[in-house]
Structure 1
């Protein structure tokens, strides 16, 4: 009962935020004339030369690739220490959890501001900013996956005399490897969108080019670059989704030439990696290592291709290790500029801006939820009238998810003017993409037998949906809404740098005029709000379960 009281309280706060911020159809209609003028200045789009587009795309993808790889590399040991399955010491587990929560709570923008002060311009601050923030989410997902592994293989290795690290490597990591890869791909998608935002603080790539174009009011060039970003995000979303489905899905029977080759080779091309029968060599000895079958060869080729991409991305970023060492020597002096925190006499203004940031997150989550529920429902195969409708809405959700919130915020700022309204509208549309996908996935994971029972008793499609389907996903829906609220509040902080209201505006201004003590205070205020929301989310998920 207490959970629903909290949820009703958040609902009331979100409704009040919409009214208090002035988000209404009338506000949008007043900007119709601005929208028409904006469209006239955007079209025809001014695309850069192909060589420049390729160079910007390669630079952006190189930064995102190295940042994601860095986050995965660092997150794995942190997750091992944070998971109760692999860690017995309270001190180690608590310290790892603190690192995870802190990395999640501090926005990428804040990391970028600090790191640009340490390393100056270049790709390195962007890589570290994206990577350090990504550690919070990746390590959390990895730790949760580790805590859900089957204990049987662990006990078998332990009984055989294996040490703790031996059973972690041989019994735990293999069980969560697919989830680790899927999480890394998802984070790569998120980092690609965030890299556009970090272009506003100097991170190279397409984001920096968009900033330069829009700062000179060259909307035709800026929106052309935005279209390229949207297409790139959609392409990455589709590719990562296909890879995740391939990794986590069930194997299908091969058809065509590959199936014919598999049958002629006696199953060599697509034979499973493990069987219950002992594998033997030609001399009759039991084979200890896995055979070099099609599955193993494809796996090693995939690993080799991944390493080549990482090496190419690292070389493309042109990071100088000697310069890194020199800059790190100045780290204590740089951090000293940020302490102690100071409000410069603007604490009241900061708190008011923080409240606006929270209001933007609440309002955007509610508006996004109102659209995401019907869209997500029609995208679920077990709810949609037919497969074509489900596929159509799935495609629409992918397209919406492919549009970075920063691009939407810039467009709405031109239409409605500066302030919180464009931030709310941009995040609301972004919420539709993520929440719609989560709702659709949750609906498809419901027990169809309950729905069949209601349908067999004479229930209509609407009755089956309300009485059998929605009731099963309510706990998951609560978790999804709280997660989206968390995301929106963090994003509202970042969108303030382009004038979309909230505390981000003051954060960016303090960094520009080098009032680093004020930056620290603003970060602490943001951290307090995020941690409070994290506590509510953890408590709610625990009670709902």
Structure 2
């Protein structure tokens, strides 16, 4: 999901507007967003009252889940370890593939414009296709197990790692390259000696952040037979054994919470400028590299994956992918158009709700403006809990409470959006210029006056960028909610694959790619006009 790193995704790190910039574009975008939200809510029959009804129904469902229990702790523990190893190994494989791809996809290091275009196309495709979609196709090609899940995580991660790795290369200082080139060394020595030392810190932050994302993703891969703890959770939910399901969810929360704390510690040790020491940083990077290598080897052994299988998957997978060509658009007709529009509508409404509800939480979770330490810790704890539960699991809960349809999917995405965007808002507020805050406080301005006079004006560019990024993420996520009956185009996709109608699946995949890519380009265009 997701924005730059390591503290938050790139889309959220936006520069402040120029002093003469008119607020008219922001107002125009706000009006367009409001209009799009109203139209989208009408299209999927979503009413504000659905949120209130949803709270009551979900509360009733949670009561049926209490008290939580683990019927087979040994098995659940093994699946939890399996999930963690899948996330690490998938990220490592993606990083290995993304390094050479990034050099080819960076304008200042690519050998030819055609190579640049091809590399960027690969990165865009991997980013646009949901990881669960890759998992479904790999399960069909390779069978049930952890290998399809690892490959799905790796391919989808290339879309993010490749892009941010390439962006870091393009932002590197050309001076060291010119100095190294003047000694007469070749292209590879120039990249290793002049470019790598500059980009490695950024790459480490991106890599750590991606492991955090992949751990959340790997939790739900078991829903399609791609390994991990998600299989046990799906089994408990299908059997209506809700106390067992809640016990598994608590295990998932503990794993993801521990990983987030570990990621925060790694970023502080390696990437905090205030504590930077070249010798210490070099030692810690070596330790981190050795640890990741050791965990990767352990993953291969524990998951019983032959290194050879990481290369031979191409043949069987190509056979399945080839059966999707040519795509058959006639079989579904207008149903495909309706499902695609429903998917976009779910993403738009969920994003709007997430933006409105996440702002208060985000402001309270910013250390520099929170009114009291307990507000800060309560808000941060809420963000951690909400972000730790994948949207697909939330969708299962809302489907059980509200019934099948896009309303359940919208509620699930909206709840997940609160945690995601609130973290970006809090991080953005913590990085604003403290001068205006001190000026307002020095004249006796209270908390509310400081918030609206000094915090909000500085935060608007980052809020706009983060909200557009959230829309991009939510549209991607809404494409797969149909697997649990939460509306959108995902239901048609998984049904077509289940019934072996691969030509129909090819049409759906192409529509998903076009929709996601169009939303991404639209978001990028709006950001370029506003920030």
TM-score by length of 1: 0.87
Q: How does 1:9-20 map to 2 (within 5 A)?
A: 9-20=32-43
Does residue 21 (structure 1) correspond to residue 7 (structure 2)? The answer is: no
CA distance in 2, matches of 1:345, 1:112: 24
| Equivalent position of 1:449 in the other structure | 435
1:328/1:273 Cα in 2 relative to 1: closer, same or farther (>3 Å)? closer
| Equivalent position of 2:229 in the other structure | 206
| Equivalent position of 1:530 in the other structure | 516
SS in 2 for 1:205: coil
Does residue 231 (structure 1) correspond to residue 254 (structure 2)? The answer is: yes
CA distance in 2, matches of 1:317, 1:385: 48
Q: How does 1:113-124 map to 2 (within 5 A)?
A: 113-124=136-147
Cα deviation for residue 528 of structure 1 reads 1.0
1:392/1:167 Cα in 2 relative to 1: closer, same or farther (>3 Å)? farther
Q: Return the match for 1:68 from 91, 101, 111.
A: 91
SS in 2 for 1:335: helix
Does residue 215 (structure 1) correspond to residue 238 (structure 2)? The answer is: yes
Does residue 519 (structure 1) correspond to residue 509 (structure 2)? The answer is: no
The number of equivalent residue pairs is: 508
Cα deviation for residue 160 of structure 1 reads 3.1
Q: Return the match for 2:390 from 379, 382, 404.
A: 404
Does residue 110 (structure 1) correspond to residue 133 (structure 2)? The answer is: yes
| Equivalent position of 2:406 in the other structure | 420
CA distance in 1, matches of 2:74, 2:444: 63
1:227/1:122 Cα in 2 relative to 1: closer, same or farther (>3 Å)? same
1:6/1:117 Cα in 2 relative to 1: closer, same or farther (>3 Å)? same
Cα deviation for residue 462 of structure 1 reads 2.8
Post-superposition Cα deviations, 1:478-529, rounded to whole Å, max 9, x if no partner, equal 1111110011111111111101111111111111111111111111111111
| Equivalent position of 2:332 in the other structure | 346
CA distance in 1, matches of 2:102, 2:489: 31
Q: Return the match for 1:95 from 101, 104, 118.
A: 118
| Equivalent position of 2:15 in the other structure | none
Higher relative contact order (CA closer than 8 Å, sequence separation 6+)? 2
| Equivalent position of 1:432 in the other structure | 418
Runs of 5+ consecutive residues of structure 2 not aligned to the other structure? 1-23
Could you tell me whether the CA contact under 8 Å between 1:230 and 1:404 is conserved in 2?
A: no
CA distance in 2, matches of 1:309, 1:323: 18
Could you tell me whether the CA contact under 8 Å between 1:418 and 1:501 is conserved in 2?
A: yes
1:378/1:31 Cα in 2 relative to 1: closer, same or farther (>3 Å)? closer
| Equivalent position of 2:447 in the other structure | 461
Cα deviation for residue 540 of structure 1 reads 2.3
Cα deviation for residue 424 of structure 1 reads 1.1
Does residue 79 (structure 1) correspond to residue 102 (structure 2)? The answer is: yes
Does residue 361 (structure 1) correspond to residue 347 (structure 2)? The answer is: yes
Does residue 158 (structure 1) correspond to residue 144 (structure 2)? The answer is: no
Post-superposition Cα deviations, 1:355-402, rounded to whole Å, max 9, x if no partner, equal 111111011111111111111111112221244432332232122211
TM-score by length of 2: 0.89
Could you tell me whether the CA contact under 8 Å between 1:196 and 1:406 is conserved in 2?
A: no
1:501/1:318 Cα in 2 relative to 1: closer, same or farther (>3 Å)? same
CA distance in 1, matches of 2:405, 2:411: 11
Cα deviation for residue 50 of structure 1 reads 2.8
SS in 2 for 1:446: coil
Q: How does 1:131-170 map to 2 (within 5 A)?
A: 131-170=154-193
SS in 1 for 2:68: coil
SS in 2 for 1:149: coil
Could you tell me whether the CA contact under 8 Å between 1:85 and 1:147 is conserved in 2?
A: yes
Does residue 395 (structure 1) correspond to residue 418 (structure 2)? The answer is: no
Cα deviation for residue 196 of structure 1 reads 2.4
1:115/1:475 Cα in 2 relative to 1: closer, same or farther (>3 Å)? same
Could you tell me whether the CA contact under 8 Å between 1:413 and 1:422 is conserved in 2?
A: yes
Post-superposition Cα deviations, 1:81-109, rounded to whole Å, max 9, x if no partner, equal 11223225211211111111111111112
| Equivalent position of 1:500 in the other structure | 486
1:400/1:473 Cα in 2 relative to 1: closer, same or farther (>3 Å)? same
* Root mean square deviation of aligned Cα: 2.3
Runs of 5+ consecutive residues of structure 1 not aligned to the other structure? 253-270, 275-293
Post-superposition Cα deviations, 1:151-196, rounded to whole Å, max 9, x if no partner, equal 3322322233333322321222222212211211211121111122
CA distance in 1, matches of 2:409, 2:479: 10
Cα deviation for residue 272 of structure 1 reads 4.2
Could you tell me whether the CA contact under 8 Å between 1:112 and 1:201 is conserved in 2?
A: yes
1:163/1:199 Cα in 2 relative to 1: closer, same or farther (>3 Å)? same
Cα deviation for residue 412 of structure 1 reads 1.2
Does residue 177 (structure 1) correspond to residue 200 (structure 2)? The answer is: yes
Could you tell me whether the CA contact under 8 Å between 2:51 and 2:411 is conserved in 1?
A: no
1:323/1:194 Cα in 2 relative to 1: closer, same or farther (>3 Å)? closer
1:81/1:313 Cα in 2 relative to 1: closer, same or farther (>3 Å)? same
CA distance in 1, matches of 2:225, 2:512: 22
CA distance in 2, matches of 1:439, 1:517: 43
Could you tell me whether the CA contact under 8 Å between 2:123 and 2:160 is conserved in 1?
A: yes
CA distance in 2, matches of 1:81, 1:24: 48
